[in-house]
Amino acid sequence: MGRARLIGAPAAVSRKRMSLDAALDVAQDDPDAALLVRYAQGDAAAARVLTVQLTPRAFGHALRVLGDRTEAEDVTQEALMRLWKIAPDWRTGEAKVSTWLYRVVANLCTDRLRKRRGSVPLEDIAEPADPAESAEAKLQRGARLDALQAALDTLPDRQRQAVVLRHIEGLANPEIAAILDIGVEAVESLTARGKRALATLLGGQRDALGYDDDKT
């Protein structure tokens, strides 16, 4: 992480030199921040690049946490809107743009899950596809992903967010800790409990999901 490198910078270097190194670290660590600065200066091309890069990530996370495309779409648009609004005041080096965006998405998802809690009919939760449809590999994969989503939907909000960020978005624990505003140990605990619950839920569907057929 950039921060660790800064802390570990040799004490002999001058303050000016170190601040230059820090700026370079930030630029290398977070090209999105440079794009956001260009966006705030009126560069339409930067707006396009940021949109193309960040929208799929925000939508992917929102969809896997919420399990609902319409809600995920709303959350994604809202999160990006907040990014555009904050762009002129963005302070480079304080946080990665993607971390900030994931955090907004996570909070918006939590708000929606809170409102939804206790009011979701069971039939609205995605069901694993009928095993009879899994003759072809494509359908099988679709069924597996549906099953994963259905299992994710049963996890508590924070566990779900942590598992999705760690194992599907592929983020490192310190970044997830920053997104969820918790400690790294808490992230490890959440992901471990989440994985255990998922394994238990999905373990009973091994045959239905074709895992004993293709030995995967």
Partner 1 sequence: MTKPDTDMLETLFQDARATPPALPDGLMDRIMADALAQQPASGARGWRAIWRAIGGAPAFGGLVTATAVGFWIGVAPPSNLPDIAAQIITGASFATLDDGSAPELTAFGWDIEEG
Which of the stretches 1-9, 21-29, 62-70, 115-123 binds partner 1 when contact is defined by CB under 8 A?
62-70
| Residues 73 to 102 in contact with partner 1, rule: CB under 8 A | 73, 76-77, 80-81, 84-85, 87-88
Q: What angle is formed at CA 108 by the lines to CA 171 and CA 116, rounded to 5 degrees?
A: 115
**Residue 82 CA: distances (Å) to CA of 34, 45, 100, 108, 110:** 17, 19, 10, 11, 16
- The pair of structure tokens assigned to 94 is 């304080």
| Under rule CB under 8 A, residue 9 binds partner 1 | no
| Residues 163 to 182 in contact with partner 1, rule: CB under 8 A | 167-168, 170
SS3 state of residue 169: coil
Residues 6+ apart with CB under 8 A from 84: 39, 47
Please pick, from the candidates 106, 109, 148, 155, the single residue that binds partner 1 as defined by CB under 8 A: 148
| Residues 186 to 205 in contact with partner 1, rule: CB under 8 A | 195-196, 198-200, 202-203
Place of tokens 């808490």: 186
| Residues 35 to 54 in contact with partner 1, rule: CB under 8 A | 39-44, 47-48, 50-52
Nearest distance, CB of residue 76 and partner 1, angstroms: 7
SS3 state of residue 119: coil
**Residue 103 CA: distances (Å) to CA of 73, 95, 109:** 16, 11, 10
Tell me which residues touch partner 1 (CB under 8 A).
39-44, 47-48, 50-52, 55-56, 59-60, 63-64, 69, 73, 76-77, 80-81, 84-85, 87-88, 141, 144-145, 147-148, 167-168, 170, 195-196, 198-200, 202-203, 206, 209, 211, 216
